[in-house]
Amino acid sequence: MKKKLYLIISILLSAAVLSLSSCLKNSNNYIDFSKAGTIVEFPKGGQAFFSADAVTDPGDTITKQFAVTVASNNAPTTATAITLAIDSSIVTSYDAANPAINYLTMPTGSFVFTTTSATIPAGQRTAIFSVTFYKHLLDPSKSYMLPIKIASAGGLKISGNQNIHYYHFIGNDFAGNYEQFYTRWNNADTTTAPSTPRTDLGAVIISPVSPSEFTVATGYYTTPNYDVTFIKTGSGASATYSNWAIKFLPADIAAGTLWATNITVVTSPMFVPSTITFNPNTQYTYAQSLQLFRFYFKTASRAIIDDYVHL
């Protein structure tokens, strides 16, 4: 009797599950729970990856590739149409919530997409897009953002926190193109004739880290980067700059790198301008600040001067 009762209960439960499954997939219901586990997203998008979306590559023309992915337990059985869009309101919202840097929307013409729409075939999960930036059409002293969002995904749910790529350029008053000149002494002082007289190494880019910090490479062995910081007071033509400081990037001289293994820095980088006297407490004008960009350091057996002339 008990076996028959268990059998009847098992049949009833199975019927209930089948009925519920049918209801969940019924397109006439208000919510289709069968798709609740499917999300369309940028795998490396959202504010969690904001730093990774900083465009700091050298050169004028920069192309970034990125993916849109259908995240689900099983590969989609139908094609998924993806459409991207630029939404300038995202810049406004971001600036309001993060006032430390004021971003502007990148102007038309300073970027171009290969396409803003694609179809992910059935059985696949990913579509690859790309966008190309033209840095010469941007003012390097200003910060820009290109907020790319997933506008539609063929009716599938779009991620709420990984649906935007915040590609951005950080402006800095001193960012841009410079002519680099390099001088080296094969001894640890500069009182003798240099072994490498002042040599033009060509164009180099001063890359912004923030509105008050930039990096630029030395011309010396393994080219570690100088990291330069300052404080800006005021704005526009009347702005002044003070509290200048310089060092090598810690990552460039970390243990295990070629630089750390082969080079011992005896005298850390310092400012040695030719035409003015350096004082970290002086309020320099923009033109005076450019004259500070002559950097000196010593190793156990070399003395180096890099100077940078704004183009």
> Residue 254 pLDDT > 90, yes or no?
no
The pLDDT assigned to 9 comes to 40
The domain spanning residue 54 has which CATH number?
2.60.40.1740
- Contact between 138 and 105 under an 8 Å Cβ cutoff? The reply is no
Q: Assess whether pLDDT exceeds 60 at residue 4.
A: no
Do residue 185 and residue 102 come from a single domain? no
**Same domain (yes/no): 160, 226:** no
pLDDT tens-digit map of 102-115: 899 999 999 999 99
Total domains present in the chain:
2
The DSSP call for residue 224 is P
In a shared domain, residues 193 and 306? yes
Q: Does residue 284 belong to any structural domain of this protein?
A: yes
pTM > 0.85: no
Task: Identify whether residues 103 and 195 lie together within a single domain.
Answer: no
More confident residue, 189 or 215: 215
Tens digits of residue pLDDT in 236-245: 789 999 999 9
Would you say residue 5 has pLDDT above 70?
A: no
Final residue of a structural domain among 153, 169, 185:
169
| Same domain? 99 vs 142 | yes
The last residue of a domain, from among 128, 149, 169: 169
129 and 211 both lie in a single domain? no
Tell whether the model's pLDDT for residue 178 goes beyond 80.
yes
Q: Which structural domain range is residue 90 located in?
A: 36-169
- Tell whether the model's pLDDT for residue 191 goes beyond 50: yes
| Residue 12 located in a structural domain | no
The last residue of a domain, from among 169, 189, 219: 169
Q: Are 52 and 44 in contact (CB under 8 A)?
A: yes
One domain for residues 192 and 288:
yes
pLDDT of residue 24: 36
pLDDT digits (tens, 9 = 90+) for 93-141: 999 999 878 899 999 999 999 999 999 999 999 999 999 999 889 888 7
Residues 156 and 271 in one domain: no
Domain match, 304 and 181 both: yes
Q: Are both 165 and 238 inside the same structural domain?
A: no
DSSP class of residue 121 equals: P
Any domain includes 129: yes
Let me know if residue 77 belongs to a domain. Answer: yes
Residue 56 has pLDDT above 60, yes or no: yes
Together in a domain, 148 and 186: no
193/84 same-domain check: no
Return the pLDDT at 125: 94
- Which runs of E-coded beta strand occur in 186-255? 196-210, 213-217, 225-233, 240-248
Would 231 be classed as within a structural domain? yes
114 with 52: CB under 8 angstroms? Answer: no
pLDDT attached to residue 123: 94
3-state secondary structure (DSSP) of residue 222 = coil
Point out the least confidently predicted range of 111-115, 162-166, 262-266, 302-306: 262-266
Q: Is residue 229 one of the residues assigned to a domain?
A: yes
Q: Are 261 and 184 in contact (CB under 8 A)?
A: no
26 falls within a domain: no
- The pLDDT-based confidence of 51 (bands split at 50, 70, 90) is confident
Decide if 147 is inside a domain. Answer: yes
Contact, 202 vs 83, CB < 8 A? no
